[in-house]
């Protein structure tokens, strides 16, 4: 497996967290674009496993995912440098903004630049999210498609916390593959 | 108890109780920062939320930096940030250790087969809600008069970024920088 250096880890998570608008899941396609598609350090399935784990821990998901990827690739020190890379952008940006925040909120030029940046982030997210959806449907298509649709519908139309949606899908996966499929396999 | 230590403890408490991410953390900030310690007013909290929507980074880190800097300058911002990420850092590494050790087990694999498509579904939710708030004014254009909700600058940057995504290998930071540049140019047109 390819491995990034410590500096590369910290720097890449600095860049990723610098452009993550919207928080939470919005960071995932962006990490995935760098680490799965471009540099091929991690398999996409492995990436999704780590996201499930990051979601199950308290705290900011973007930071948790960064730390977990760092840990996976370079152990505890890798986790630590990824943490530093991930927390520096908000620390720097907000420190500056907190001194000038009324000017910041009212300045139309800044707003215009931020609008352009957010539009671009949407494009990166949509592009990667669609390719992730297509990959997820390659194995067990009906089962995966139903769960994806279910998570999407519950996520968008209800206020159920995402952690419960994830939990429910994990249980369904266990029942389907470890209980039902196994019983069928034993009969045959 | 010194102010820096108080900041550290308050944000560590928020960090360890913030499950679910994103706006789930807002009620916690309201409880520990606004009501218990009176470090922010409710109006300032609304400002922090607005700034968080405009700037990158998770809302918990943005508010930690904002409150810390406001109360105790740059050291305050650093201490509050460390407090907010410390518990989750430890938990993530410990769980990660067990996870990577046991992820080959059969029953873990079954659970993961259920989790992965669900995660993709939730990523799509995040993607569409970010598009709704960034490209349109929080309302999909087919629900009302389209011209009043379209953010033309963001939509134009979105289109260009989509083309760059398909045609080039430019990394995310580069694409977002192009988006910012487009916003800058459109401001002067």
The ipTM is 0.83
Whole-angstrom Cα distance, residue A76 to residue A65?
A: 14
Note whether B85 contacts A152, CB cutoff 8 Å: no
Note whether B118 contacts A126, CB cutoff 8 Å: no
Tokens of A166: 């994830």
In a domain, residue A173? The reply is yes
Distance from CA of A188 to the nearest CA of B (A): 19
In a domain, residue A97? The reply is yes
**pLDDT confidence of B30, banded at 50, 70, 90?**
confident
Whole-angstrom Cα distance, residue A58 to residue A162?
A: 13
The pTM for the full model equals: 0.82
Do the Cβ atoms of A151 and A165 come closer than 8 Å?
A: yes
In a domain, residue A181? The reply is yes
Identify which of A19, A104, A173 has the shortest CB distance to residue B56: A19
In a domain, residue A40? The reply is yes
Whole-angstrom Cα distance, residue A19 to residue B178?
A: 12
- What is the percent of chain A where pLDDT is above 70? 97
Question: Which residue of chain B is at minimal alpha-carbon distance from A62?
Answer: B58
Residues, chain B: 189
Identify which of A30, A94, A105 has the shortest CB distance to residue B65: A94
Interface test with chain B among A1, A17, A22, A107, by most B beta carbons within 10 Å:
A22
CB-count exposure of residue A30 (10 Å: 0-12, 13-18, 19+): buried
Parent domain of A92: 6-136
Whole-angstrom Cα distance, residue A83 to residue A95?
A: 18
Same domain, A11 and A96: yes
Note whether A58 contacts B18, CB cutoff 8 Å: yes
More confident residue, A151 or B141: A151
| Residues forming beta bridges with residue B150, ordered by sequence position | B136
Same domain, A128 and A59: yes
Note whether A173 contacts B114, CB cutoff 8 Å: yes
- The string of pLDDT tens digits covering residues B88-116 is 999 999 999 998 888 888 888 898 889 88
Q: What residues of B are in contact with residue A166 (Cβ under 8 Å)?
A: 115, 118-119, 122
């Amino acid at each position: 497996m390819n491995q990034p250096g410590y500096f590369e880890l910290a720097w890449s998570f600095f860049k990723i967290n610098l452009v993550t608008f919207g928080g939470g899941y919005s960071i995932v396609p962006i990490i995935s674009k760098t680490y799965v598609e471009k540099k091929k350090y991690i398999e996409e399935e492995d990436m999704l496993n780590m996201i499930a784990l990051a979601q199950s821990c308290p705290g900011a998901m973007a930071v948790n995912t960064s730390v977990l990827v760092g840990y996976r690739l370079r152990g505890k020190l890798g986790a630590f440098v990824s943490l530093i890379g991930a927390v520096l952008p908000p620390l720097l940006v907000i420190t500056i903004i907190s001194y000038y925040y009324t000017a910041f909120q009212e300045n139309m030029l800044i707003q215009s630049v931020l609008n352009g940046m957010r539009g671009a982030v949407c494009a990166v997210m949509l592009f990667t999210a669609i390719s992730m959806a297509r990959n997820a449907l390659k194995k067990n298509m009906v089962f995966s498609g139903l769960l994806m649709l279910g998570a999407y519908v519950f996520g968008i139309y209800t206020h159920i916390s995402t952690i419960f949606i994830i939990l429910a899908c994990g249980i369904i996966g266990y029942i389907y593959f470890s209980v039902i499929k196994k019983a069928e396999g034993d009969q045959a | 108890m010194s102010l820096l230590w108080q900041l550290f403890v308050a944000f560590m408490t928020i960090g360890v109780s913030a499950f679910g991410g994103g706006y789930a953390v807002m009620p916690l900030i309201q409880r520990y920062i606004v009501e218990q310690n009176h470090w922010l007013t409710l109006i300032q909290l609304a400002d922090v939320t607005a700034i968080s929507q405009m700037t990158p980074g998770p809302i918990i880190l943005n508010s930690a930096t904002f409150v810390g800097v406001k109360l105790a300058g740059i050291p305050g911002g650093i201490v509050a940030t460390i407090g907010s990420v410390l518990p989750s850092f430890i938990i993530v590494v410990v769980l990660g250790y067990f996870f990577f050790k046991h992820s080959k087990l059969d029953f873990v694999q079954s659970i993961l087969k259920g989790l992965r498509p669900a995660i993709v579904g939730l990523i799509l939710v995040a993607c569409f809600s970010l598009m709704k708030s960034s490209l349109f004014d929080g309302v999909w254009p087919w629900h009302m008069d389209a011209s009043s909700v379209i953010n033309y600058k963001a939509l134009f940057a979105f289109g260009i970024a989509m083309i760059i995504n398909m045609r080039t290998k430019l990394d995310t930071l580069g694409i977002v920088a192009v988006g910012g540049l487009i916003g800058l140019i459109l401001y002067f047109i």
